[in-house]
Amino acid sequence: MKTIDRDRVIDSGTISGLDFTRFVNMGVTPYHYDRNGVCSLVEVTRKNLPKLKFQRVYLLTPDEYNKISVFTENVNELAALHQRHIELLKDMVEPILVDKIMK
């Protein structure tokens, strides 16, 4: 499995406005990993950069972004299936209690 170079994982506090031009020249786009709600990659822009205190920013090529997007979609689907499974198990508790008491 190919790994991302360490110089392509940076702290959001170290990014300046000039870096965005450098990112374009490198052929990468900055993203940060957002795990609020569902897992997703959110593009970092000059506008939302101040909100990203102490977060890692990943400089990804379009191909890397597509691969990671597929992976995060699969993780989100798996999490939703597990949550549904947990809800079904919770729904089974009451009928089992009734069945055990009635015996």
Does an H or E element contain 69, and which? Answer: helix 62-102
The C-alpha atoms of residue 54 and residue 73 are separated, in whole angstroms, by: 25
pLDDT at site 84: 95
Q: What is the pTM of this model?
A: 0.69
Instruction: Kindly tell me if the per-residue pLDDT of 20 is higher than 90.
Output: no
pLDDT at site 37: 63
Encode pLDDT of 55-79 as tens digits. Answer: 888 899 999 999 988 998 898 899 9
Handedness of CA 87, 88, 90, 95 (dihedral sign): positive
Encode pLDDT of 42-59 as tens digits. Answer: 888 888 888 877 788 889
DSSP string over 25-37? HHT-EEEEEE-SS
% of the chain residues with pLDDT over 70:
91
